[in-house]
Copies of this chain bind each other. A is one copy, B any other.
Amino acid sequence: MTKPVQTAVVGVTGYAGAELARLLLRHPRLKGVPPVFAGRIDEKDAARGGVPLAEIHPELGSSNGAGQVKLQPFAWELLAARGVEVLFLATPHEQSREWAPEALKRGMRVIDLSGAWRLAEPPNRAIYGFADEGTELARTTQAEAVYGMPELHRGKIAGARLVANPGCYATSIILAVKPLVAAGLVDVEHGIICDSKSGVSGAGKAPTAKTHFMYAADNLSAYGVFHHRHTGEMLEQIGVHSGELVFTPHLLPIPRGILSTIYVRFREPQTRERMVAIYREFFIASPMVRIYDKVLPQIQYSLRTGYADIGIQVSADGRRAVIVSCLDNLLKGASSQAVQNLNVMQGWCEQEGLE
């Protein structure tokens, strides 16, 4: 048995952070070595030794030992004193740009859940407007980063010092499109149309006009048409040009879950049976992807699980396909994928702690 690893989480106050805490606290390989939770907290809370997680996320409650675990004031010294080896950053991307290099310098391995280090191509990064773009430190850090989708990059993740955990929309689309493009079946120049719908947790915990119940409930709205910042990840990972993929996200009136409906045209006519076989082959070693055969996945099926669910229908003439891809944006779209990366980095079973 491998020796236990000391983890730390920065950014546990958000929705993805809460799920990450829940997963790590019950992870069978981390029994007895709960993560260090660190972040900005006020003086009064610091004085009482931190804020119990159960006060921040009452739904974590007394389960999982969350009642005992505390969010402590962040300090690099704290991490050092506790011997942290793997640092999860569930922080805004600006903060991850600063902290990831520092953590690497201090000898930690980093799993970053933000968009800070996902993009290799400068034009794709432009939409984020990183303040440190072009600096030497940014360049060398980016050069180390591995895109944290185990289904595509398992080998590199195993040895990576910096893993850039994918975006939620990007995960739902890349997993569904990559197998067909990799097999050379898709008429890529024709265009890949990705129509995605996400629950409100994807918009974050900050109260805004768009996350107000009155805005989201009994509604559906498209946003970020032709310029959502997850598009770059899709282009780089699928391997297509910017004119070849259209991505439209929509805000669903539900707390969580993503369903992407994807439209492709084939170079040659295909059958559904062959497509299902291709997906199954592609994901044969990937325990967190489920391929549906007779029915299409729905949001409810993958909700509160770490699975990405994929189903496909082919038109009568075999020329077009509609692919439906579902996942829980806070899990396979964020926290459980981060744990999957931890598992790969540690050489554990990829699905450990996720079923």
Q: Name A residues whose Cβ lies closer than 8 Å to a Cβ of B.
A: 15, 58-59, 61-64, 190-191, 193, 195, 197, 200-201, 205, 207-209, 211-223, 225-226, 243, 246, 248, 250, 252-255, 257, 259, 261, 263, 265, 290, 295-296, 298-305, 307, 313-317, 319-320, 322, 324, 355
Contacts and interface: CB of A to CB of B under 8 A. Distances in A.
Given A218-B303, A243-B319, 17 more contacts: A15-B214, A59-B305, A61-B301, A191-B320, A193-B263, A207-B209, A211-B213, A213-B217, A213-B253, A217-B217, A218-B300, A221-B299, A222-B296, A222-B322, A223-B296, A225-B324, A253-B253
Contacts of A200: 213-214, 217
B261 A324 contact: no
Contacts of A221: 259, 296, 298-299
A299 B64 contact: no
- Which 8 residue pairs are nearest across A and B when measured between Cβ atoms? A207-B207, A221-B298, A195-B195, A200-B213, A225-B313, A213-B216, A219-B300, A220-B299
A140 to B, nearest CB: 32
Given A225-B313, A313-B225, A259 B217 contact: no
Contacts of A62: 290, 307
A300 B222 CA distance: 12
Nearest to A60: B301
Contacts of A191: 190, 265, 320
Given A221-B298, A299-B218, A307-B61, A246 B209 contact: no
Contact of A313 (B226, B252, B300): B226
A51 to B, nearest CB: 14
A73 to B, nearest CB: 22
Nearest to A221: B298
